[in-house]
Amino acid sequence: MGNCMARAFPLARAMARYALKVEYDGRPFAGWQRQADQPSVQGAIEAALARLEADVPSIAAAGRTDAGVHATGQVAHCDMVQEWQPFRLSEALNYHLKPLPVAIVACSSVSEDWHARFSAVERRYTYRLINRRAPLTLDVGQAWAVKQPLDLGYMQEAARHLIGKHDFTTFRASICQAKSPIKTLDEIRIEAFPRGDAVEFQFHLRARSFLHNQVRSIVGTLERVGAGSWSPDDVRISLEARDRAACGPVAPPDGLILTGVGYPDDPFRGQGS
């Protein structure tokens, strides 16, 4: 009886899970998430996976970046019936992703309970702003161009009001689906790099997770401080208002880059940056 039941209901074959570190230029895409009628990064990778195996399950990512947002360290995972050497899987995917501006820069075998989103304990973003009068050429679509001079010290002073655990309703998009506006922002670090006739400002933000448009809302508000339209203390007042209307302008997606995702045990350790 037991043998008959085993033959009638064979066990499903276990699938092998792989973590993928993904780099992409977000300009040609409507965002990470697969969409029926618009190109997406998820859709591009799933189409490449389908060239390797039929009926590959949907992949999951650490974060859903918006249209025009870039990544150098997005992380996703996929499940495959065939066992692959991670290097060969990344090479095969990169072959089928051409000519799209998406690349698998690292690949690792992980346990079946490892999850790109739910196993993550940290996300890191960098926002690039280039301060110069002339329009951007080489960096167009890769940074926010701001003409008026910005004061680094004022922006750094203002940013300190946002570090720590707060209700970030002010810096949350109206369509944000997060259950709570309370987040802990572990770091905001702002650097300035002279570049000939320009200055590049880089805003580095680190947290376990972010609200929808939180980083771009913060950068857009800090830019107002740097330009002298807001005082550093106005950012504290804006935060405490817990009102979206109290936020400064939202920075464009061009300069936003998902640079890394942290895990208790890094699946890509030893595979470079």
107-129 tens-digit pLDDT = 999 999 999 999 999 999 999 99
Give the separation between CA 151 and CA 119, rounded to whole angstroms.
38
Give the separation between CA 40 and CA 20, rounded to whole angstroms.
16
Q: What is the DSSP letter of 66?
A: B
**Residue located via tokens 């390797």:** 52
Residue 16: strand, helix, or coil: strand
The pLDDT value given to residue 137: 95
Give the separation between CA 190 and CA 196, rounded to whole angstroms.
19
> With 90 as the cut, is the pLDDT of residue 48 above it?
yes
Whole-model pTM? 0.92
The pLDDT value given to residue 270: 77
Give the model confidence (pLDDT) of 4-14 as tens digits: 444 444 445 57
Q: Which of 25, 66, 79, 151 is catalytic?
A: 66
Residue 238 near residue 99 (C-beta atoms within 8 A): no
Strands 122-131 and 198-207: antiparallel
Using a pLDDT cut of 90, give the percent of the chain over it: 87
> With 90 as the cut, is the pLDDT of residue 271 above it?
no
**Is-catalytic flag, 167?**
no
Strands 144-146 and 122-131: parallel
The pLDDT value given to residue 11: 44
Crossing angle for the helix pair 41-50 and 86-97, to the nearest 10 degrees: 110
How many C-beta neighbours within 10 Å does residue 123 have?
Answer: 22
Give the model confidence (pLDDT) of 135-146 as tens digits: 999 999 999 999
Give the separation between CA 221 and CA 215, rounded to whole angstroms.
10
Q: Determine the average pLDDT of the residues in 69-85.
A: 96
Contacts of 166 (CB under 8 A, 6+ apart): 182, 183, 184, 185, 239
Residue 167 near residue 242 (C-beta atoms within 8 A): yes
The pLDDT value given to residue 1: 45
Residue 141: which region, alpha, beta or left (left: phi > 0; alpha: psi -120 to 50)?
A: left
Q: Determine the average pLDDT of the residues in 63-77.
A: 96
Strands 164-167 and 182-195: antiparallel
Domains and CATH numbers, the chain: 15-119 (3.30.70.580), 122-260 (3.30.70.660)
Give the separation between CA 25 and CA 111, rounded to whole angstroms.
29
175 CA to centre of own chain: 18
Sign of torsion, CA 76 264 216 248? positive
Residue-by-residue DSSP string for 183-213? EEEEEEEEEEEEETTEEEEEEEEEES---TT
Q: Determine the average pLDDT of the residues in 13-25.
A: 91
Give the model confidence (pLDDT) of 158-213 as tens digits: 999 999 999 999 999 888 878 899 999 999 999 999 999 999 999 999 999 999 99
| Of 151 and 4, more confident | 151
**What is the number of alpha carbons within 13 Å of residue 162 lying toward its C-beta?**
33
Give the model confidence (pLDDT) of 217-264 as tens digits: 999 999 999 999 999 999 999 999 999 999 999 999 999 999 999 999
- pLDDT averaged over the chain? 93
Give the separation between CA 211 and CA 177, rounded to whole angstroms.
8
